Structure 1
Amino acid sequence: MGIVALQSFKNVVSTYLGFFIGAINTLFLYTEFLTDEYYGMVGYMLSLAYVIMPLMAFGIHNTLVKFYSSFKTRISLNSFLTLMLVLPICVIIPLVIITHFGYDIIGNFLSQRNSIIKDYLWHTIIVAISLAYFEVFFAWAKVQMLTVFGNFMKEVFHRVGAMVLLFALHFKIIDLNQFMIGLVTVYVIRMLIMNIYAFSIKLPVITFKRVSNLSKILKYSFLIIIAGSIATVLMDVDKVMLGQYIDIKEIAYYNVAIFISAVIAVPQRAMHQILLPLSAKYLNERDFEALGDLYKKSSVNLFVVGGFIFLLIIVNINQLYEIIPKEFSGGLFVVFVISISKLYDALLGSNNAILFNSDYYRMVLVLGVVLVILMVLLNIVFIPLYGINGAAIATFLAVFVYNSIKLFFVYRKFKIFPFTNSTLKIGILIVSSSLLFYFWDFTFHPIVNIGVKSILITVFYVFIVLKFDFSEDISTLIKRYLKLN
């Protein structure tokens, strides 16, 4: 896993840099410089953009990764890449036309509870288009096994842009409407920079020749729209549905809780960028032994790292909520529930990469559609009863069922399983550490408490991981940077 470990480590660094900047934005700048209503509107706009992004992209970002290595001649590859660039336009243009002529109908439907939503429908559409083509250009780089710059742009660039805009708003250089336009502009610029980088790696040669396996490619692209939509819906539909049931300012409180929990998913997101093309390569070459080895190692590595981040969040969460505005503390339960679901995601390792690049994605899509319907129904039941806590419960239940089915499906079809003897040991370490440190409080300032607890947890956790050598990759990495070898 040399290339995986190297690029994953670099991606983790850039992703955590992005999350650090995002934490400042989410926990402090947005909460201080924007009204709760507009902060909720930003969360709603971006969540809705992410929900419709897979449709805008026509699934090309996954299709490009899956089929790229199967084209062996220059002409066939250029024809395939030309198709990948053109297909999203075939979806985007009709959707833009529908939005133009149906603006009032769509806007009135979405803004039944919160009228502010209607004013920013076009903002959402432009962000969605930018997200779609950004993913296409990122996939263009991924298939060349180059993920570091793209991951930096995906995780850091837009957060820095948002920070600059927030300070500009605070110092009255821009007003609220200009801030919202500026936020959209940041996503457009990010997409254009990724475009330049991708084409600098491999300049497209526009070739309109017949693409072999065209029907198979189109079928996969169409079905992967559903797959991408399922994954995105499971992450963002709760925020979209909250906008239909509760005041939009409460979405701001939910956003903060979700952001805190999402830190657990950072290593998985970083590693996923290189796991996708590698899994596609092993599947195309039918090298199932290498695929199984990648599955196990990715699971163990992500469980160790994700478990450590889970610990840091859970044991420090009470102190963290003491240093942000009091009204946001209503998301405490959300943090606990969503953090557990994110840890389960990490435990599955390269499961998604295997499924999205295999011939069995059709059955998973059917199950996914059922589960999206289940999640929507759960949100309809739980949000009116428990508000943002209900949305968290619905998300947890849907993700738990969805992940469990995917775990079983990969085992059934490929006879490979991500768990090893180390999995149980890591689980025991996470649970025992949570119980040991959660109730251990100091009487210092909350920031000092967080620092002291984090240092103690880090020393304890790293010592146990090294002592029992749960992960060869992680142990080697720790020893290298601590100069223990």
Structure 2
Amino acid sequence: MGIIFKQSFKNTLIIYLGFIIGGINTLVLYTRFLKDEYYGLVTYVLSASNLVMPIIAFGIHFTIIKFFSAYTSKKEQDKFLSSIIFFPLLIAIPIGAFWDIFHNWIMDFVSKSSSEGNLIIESYTIHIYIIAVACAYYEVFYSWAKVQMQSVFGNLLKELYNRVAVMILLFAVYFNFITKQEFIVYLSWAYILRTLLMMIYAFRLYTPKFSFSLPDNFKEVLRYTFYIILAGSAGAIILDIDKVMIPGKDGFETAAYYAVAVFIGSFIEAPSRAMGQILQPLTSKSINEDNVKETQSLYKKSSINLMVIGGLFFVLVNCNVAELFKLLPNDKYAGGMSVVLMISSAKLFLMLLGNNGAILNNSKFYRIILPVNLGMALSVYFLNTYFYNDLGMGTEGLALATLITILIFNSFKLWFVKKKFSMTPFTNKTFLITIIIFIMFLGFYFWDFSVPEFYISKFPLHPIINITLKSVVIFSIYMFLVVKLSISEQINSLVKRYVK
């Protein structure tokens, strides 16, 4: 776990710095500089591009991680990379050629709403395509770097670059350097630049000698890619279909309110994203080498460490969420407290499973991912429709649909790995950390420090003071219990190294 911890620690710092900047963007700048309608439009464009991206990527970013380490010579590796690097263009070019059809479909979808403001999307549908292509090739070159065990720079571009670019553009709107209408145009260029930077870095790490010959196992590669593209597309539906459905019923403003709540609830997953950048290629390597002991070790250690860190942020986020919403200029955002709880609970459950997904994606049982993801996509779509449209539960219904789907289908994946590999991510400390998280949540959810209200230029500062004081108390008690009870060997070693 040495290389994992070293790069995961750097990645975690980058991701949380990105989340802090993203939090400033989401809670302060978007809501004040861009306003609700255009913020909802940005949310819609990015979510729609996330739905298109897996199709354009053609599953190549997963294919690189699974197969690259299985080749033993540079010649074989070069053949492999040469044969798959242009695959996304086979999808991107035809989609671009027929984008008018997709444009009309998007307009038909959002025009169902009675809100005339939804028609502002008409000038921006092409940017869904541009961002999707840029993100697809970014992921391909990021995987290129990951298999060289270098994930930090790509993570910097993925988690920090985007947020900084958005912050700069938001201030550009505020100072009238660009208009609200031009914001998405410049954001699209920022995504293109990010892809170019990742491509240059990937080629510096490993420059293949391009050839027209195919690797010996090309049929197996193609078969895996086909399964993964379908599974990845279904997976994207799970993550972003709710944000795409909202404007068709309630308008872009509601999409903005929901996006803020989902952002806050997703804050706890940063350690999982950080650790996953390096865990994926290491898991693939251990499986390719048939190293069962190492695979099991990665499974258990990733689970307990992610649960410890994710649990801390689960408590911090949910016990401070009421104060966080006081920072927003619109009272309508405050209705998302239950959304935050459900989304963060779903994320915490995924962290409990450690690198479960990486094991399945890189094993000979990868085909199970397709029916599972298709089942999840259908489940979240129909539950969204039932809770949101039929029962009128609002955005809470969308969050509940996500939570139910993640709990059911990921429990199945947990059972499947247990059945096929005879391993689980749980240790004798798993139950203990779960109890600590539950008690800490109940103990701090219902009270806050009594801080007098005061403002600077109409911006409330008392919620920030309350959050800071409460977070210091929660962090101190939580970490004391984790270290005292030796929940994680790695965290205890880290503490002993820096705390004398």
Report the residue type matching 2:373 in the other structure: G
Report the residue type matching 1:21 in the other structure: I
Q: State the Cα deviation string for residues 217-238 of structure 1 (Å, max 9, x = none).
A: 1111111112222322211111
Q: Is the 1:99–1:106 contact (alpha carbons within 8 Å) kept by the matching residues of 2?
A: no
Change (3 A) 1:427 1:175: same
Q: Are 1:197 and 2:214 matched, yes or no?
A: no
Aligned to 2:405: 398
How many angstroms does 1:18 deviate by? Answer: 0.6
Matches within 5 A, 1:256-335: 256-325=260-329, 326-335=331-340
Structure 2 Cα separation of the partners of residues 210 and 168 of structure 1: 48
Structure 2 Cα separation of the partners of residues 427 and 106 of structure 1: 43
How many angstroms does 1:438 deviate by? Answer: 1.4
Report the residue type matching 1:371 in the other structure: M
Structure 1 Cα separation of the partners of residues 105 and 413 of structure 2: 38
More divergent stretch after superposition (300-309 vs 41-50): 41-50
Aligned to 1:453: 470
Aligned to 1:71: 71
Structure 2 Cα separation of the partners of residues 174 and 331 of structure 1: 31
Structure 2 Cα separation of the partners of residues 230 and 474 of structure 1: 35
Change (3 A) 1:176 1:440: closer
Q: Is the 2:380–2:402 contact (alpha carbons within 8 Å) kept by the matching residues of 1?
A: yes
| Alignment partner of 2:192 out of 188, 194, 218 | 188
Aligned to 1:355: 360
Aligned to 2:378: 373
Secondary structure of 2:212's aligned partner: coil
Taking only the aligned residue pairs, the percentage that are identical comes to 45
Q: Is the 2:287–2:362 contact (alpha carbons within 8 Å) kept by the matching residues of 1?
A: yes
Q: Are 1:28 and 2:32 matched, yes or no?
A: no
Structure 2 Cα separation of the partners of residues 103 and 261 of structure 1: 32
Report the residue type matching 2:481 in the other structure: I
Structure 2 Cα separation of the partners of residues 364 and 148 of structure 1: 27
Report the residue type matching 1:316 in the other structure: N
How many angstroms does 1:52 deviate by? Answer: 1.4
Q: Is the 2:342–2:399 contact (alpha carbons within 8 Å) kept by the matching residues of 1?
A: yes
Q: State the Cα deviation string for residues 54-89 of structure 1 (Å, max 9, x = none).
A: 111000000000000111222221111112211111
Secondary structure of 1:349's aligned partner: coil
Report the residue type matching 1:354 in the other structure: I
Q: Is the 2:27–2:327 contact (alpha carbons within 8 Å) kept by the matching residues of 1?
A: no
How many angstroms does 1:94 deviate by? Answer: 1.2
Matches within 5 A, 1:408-427: 408-427=415-434
Aligned to 1:242: 246
| Alignment partner of 2:492 out of 468, 475, 485 | 475
Secondary structure of 2:246's aligned partner: helix
Aligned to 2:479: 462
How many angstroms does 1:110 deviate by? Answer: 4.3
Matches within 5 A, 1:211-250: 211-250=215-254
Structure 2 Cα separation of the partners of residues 132 and 374 of structure 1: 26
How many angstroms does 1:290 deviate by? Answer: 0.7
Aligned to 2:129: 125
Structure 1 Cα separation of the partners of residues 347 and 376 of structure 2: 17
Structure 2 Cα separation of the partners of residues 307 and 322 of structure 1: 24
Secondary structure of 1:324's aligned partner: coil
How many angstroms does 1:116 deviate by? Answer: 2.2
Aligned to 1:89: 89
How many angstroms does 1:106 deviate by? Answer: 4.3
Structure 1 Cα separation of the partners of residues 29 and 288 of structure 2: 47
How many angstroms does 1:453 deviate by? Answer: 0.6
Secondary structure of 1:34's aligned partner: helix
Structure 1 Cα separation of the partners of residues 263 and 158 of structure 2: 16
Change (3 A) 1:74 1:422: same
Change (3 A) 1:401 1:140: same
- TM-score if structure 2 supplies the norm length? 0.95
More divergent stretch after superposition (426-435 vs 233-242): 233-242
How many angstroms does 1:289 deviate by? Answer: 1.0
Structure 1 Cα separation of the partners of residues 32 and 128 of structure 2: 23
Report the residue type matching 1:476 in the other structure: S
Q: Is the 1:47–1:239 contact (alpha carbons within 8 Å) kept by the matching residues of 2?
A: yes
Structure 2 Cα separation of the partners of residues 178 and 210 of structure 1: 44
Structure 1 Cα separation of the partners of residues 101 and 309 of structure 2: 49
Structure 1 Cα separation of the partners of residues 279 and 26 of structure 2: 29
How many angstroms does 1:104 deviate by? Answer: 2.9
Q: Which runs of 5+ in 1 are unaligned?
A: none
More divergent stretch after superposition (117-126 vs 55-64): 117-126
Report the residue type matching 1:56 in the other structure: I
Root-mean-square deviation (Å): 1.2
Change (3 A) 1:133 1:111: farther
- TM-score if structure 1 supplies the norm length? 0.97
Aligned to 1:336: 341
Structure 2 Cα separation of the partners of residues 25 and 4 of structure 1: 30
Structure 1 Cα separation of the partners of residues 105 and 383 of structure 2: 26
Change (3 A) 1:106 1:253: closer
Change (3 A) 1:110 1:208: farther
Q: Which runs of 5+ in 2 are unaligned?
A: 452-461
Q: State the Cα deviation string for residues 130-169 of structure 1 (Å, max 9, x = none).
A: 1000000000000000001110110000110010000000
Matches within 5 A, 1:141-152: 141-152=145-156
Q: Are 1:210 and 2:214 matched, yes or no?
A: yes
How many angstroms does 1:51 deviate by? Answer: 1.4
How many angstroms does 1:363 deviate by? Answer: 2.0
Structure 2 Cα separation of the partners of residues 107 and 446 of structure 1: 40
Q: State the Cα deviation string for residues 254-307 of structure 1 (Å, max 9, x = none).
A: 000000011111000000011100110011111111101100000000000000
Aligned to 2:436: 429
Aligned to 2:396: 389
Q: Is the 1:111–1:117 contact (alpha carbons within 8 Å) kept by the matching residues of 2?
A: no
Aligned residues: 483
Q: Is the 1:257–1:332 contact (alpha carbons within 8 Å) kept by the matching residues of 2?
A: yes
Aligned to 2:456: none
Q: Is the 1:227–1:368 contact (alpha carbons within 8 Å) kept by the matching residues of 2?
A: yes
Secondary structure of 1:451's aligned partner: helix
